[in-house]
Chains A and B, each alone.
Chain A
Amino acid sequence: MQTRKKFMRTALALTTGTILFAPIHLSAMDASDAPESVTIDSMAKLYAPVEFDHLMHTEYASCEECHHHTTGVQVADPNCLRCHANTPEADEVSCVGCHAADRFDDKYLATLDDPTIYHIDKPGLKGAYHLNCIGCHVIIDGPTGCQDCHAMTEAGEKRFNTGKHAPAGGNTSGAHH
């Protein structure tokens, strides 16, 4: 029950973009510990928040496929195994705990320059979601279109010159010069 609570808390952390600390557990988690649903809205601007059906996704992927070495379930990637063969469940399992919401923050960029850090190529939060989600969706034929997962907002339509903000000419040939 405690782990479940923890997951709810990390889910909350994910939504609000803050990090909460939870007690350490040495046992591995499993799908039953997972929250049923997570609202991903920490970066929603051009697109509406995503209502992520976590429970449904546990039927498609095991914990470590998305949470890597943090849930106590052994990772499959041989490259990760070199160091994480026996890594116990981590304090922090939510995406934002490791994947910076601000990928371009000075402090974060400085870590890329630090010779003592192995993980110099950790995507930011937005990159982590899309790489993981779309990477898998392509393989299992899941939805891959932008608006299949999140509807475009008014600001998005403006950015993309689409919908209400589509070019007046309606020229669909798209021909260049």
Chain B
Amino acid sequence: MKKLNRRSFIKGGLATTAAAAVLKETKSEASGDFDNYPEGMGVIVDLTRCVGCRSCEAACNKEQGLPEPAVPFDDFSVFDIIHHGEKRRTDETAYTIVNRYDPPEIDHPLFRKIQCNHCNEPACLTSCFVNAYTKTPEGAVIYNASVCVGCRTCMIACPFYIPTFKYSSAFTPRIMKCIFCYDTRLKNGKPPACVEACPQEALTFGKRRDVLKIGKQRIRETPGKYVDHIYGEHEVGGTAWMYLSSVPFDKVGFDTHVPKEPIINSVKEFLAMVPMVLTIWPGLFVGFHLLATRKDKIQELEKEKELRKLKENDEKEEQV
């Protein structure tokens, strides 16, 4: 009886390892290296240029058909909002937010626009087991609402806390985040609405590799103006939206502890588990089913045996 159990376990185990082996390979391909999109577009956000006019927020709101804001976009009191000890964040009603920082090193405030950074190797994409996300050759990270199951894994995986959800009904979750204006603009070679609206050209749009060059030129040719770093050149494996700043990035709300390699690399094992579970599920279920039926059979057998024993005993007793 013990033998039977062990054998079915081993069978299940074999199925699992086989599935895992197959999966690992496809996974490492899918986790992908999007460097093969050299024509991808990008934006350099220059904090030294931004004046906090919120034109970008207003433009995004109209372009993306987002709900009416609580206060007008020319109301600058929003910069003083602190919610649970934090400045404003992007959410399902605002794909981009501008926040004010007052670093003690300088005598004037700095403003920082946040939105999805459109990572080269997006953690949201690699963590999603229904493949709701796509990195397009134009550089945008977009999503397919119709396949999303609302598991929120991407929310947890994104190093910049970008994806949020709108539940218009309990059964149709919808990822809400900046899409680089892919549908209406980027796809047609046009700049995003926020970029076009910015009066200060604090948002410089072009091919990622070109704007990166521009950023480097600004650092080199205006010594002392910028810290010698472009946030997003290497962070999390590189992002399409990158930043220039005149003060260290951690002074203006940036997470400077994010890895310099794609998130997928540091959590590969864990992430590989997610779809793996799905792939081995059928195998597991078959295994469980076999086990369960075996168990039933064994139990039946045992019962039969016991019954027989009992019968025998009874018979013996009767005989005695």
Contacts and interface: CB of A to CB of B under 8 A. Distances in A.
B200 A130 contact: yes
Contact of B191 (A79, A104, A160, A176): A104
Interface size, B (range): 35 or more
Contacts of B206: 109, 112-113
A162 interface: yes
Contacts of B221: 79
B73 interface: yes
A142 to B, nearest CB: 13
B71 interface: yes
A161 B190 contact: no
Contact of B201 (A103, A144, A152): A103
Given A174-B77, A174-B81, A113 B207 contact: yes
B58 A121 contact: no
Contacts of A166: 72
A131 interface: yes
Nearest to B213: A120
Interface of A: 79, 103-104, 106, 109, 112-113, 120-121, 123-124, 126-127, 129-131, 134, 138, 144, 146, 152, 159-163, 166-169, 171-177
Contact of A127 (B78, B201, B210, B218): B201
Interface string B149-191: 0000000000000000000000000000000000000000111
**Which interface residue of A166, A169, A174 has the most chain B CB atoms within 10 A?**
A174
9 contacts: A106-B189, A126-B201, A129-B199, A131-B200, A131-B201, A163-B72, A166-B72, A167-B69, A174-B77
B226 interface: no
Contacts of B1: none
B111 interface: no
Interface in B43-86: 49, 51, 53-55, 58-59, 61-62, 68-75, 77-78, 81, 83
B188 to A, nearest CB: 11
A105 to B, nearest CB: 10
Nearest to A108: B206
Given A112-B206, A120-B214, A134 B58 contact: no
Contacts of B54: 160
B91 A121 contact: no
A174 B53 contact: no
A13 to B, nearest CB: 21
Nearest to A128: B201
B24 interface: no
**Which interface residue of A103, A124, A168 has the most chain B CB atoms within 10 A?**
A103
B71 A176 contact: no
Nearest to A113: B210
B1 to A, nearest CB: 59
Nearest to A121: B214
Nearest to A104: B191
B81 A104 contact: no
B207 A162 contact: no
Contacts of A161: 58, 61, 68-69, 72-73
Nearest to A162: B72
Contacts of A123: 201
A175 B81 contact: yes
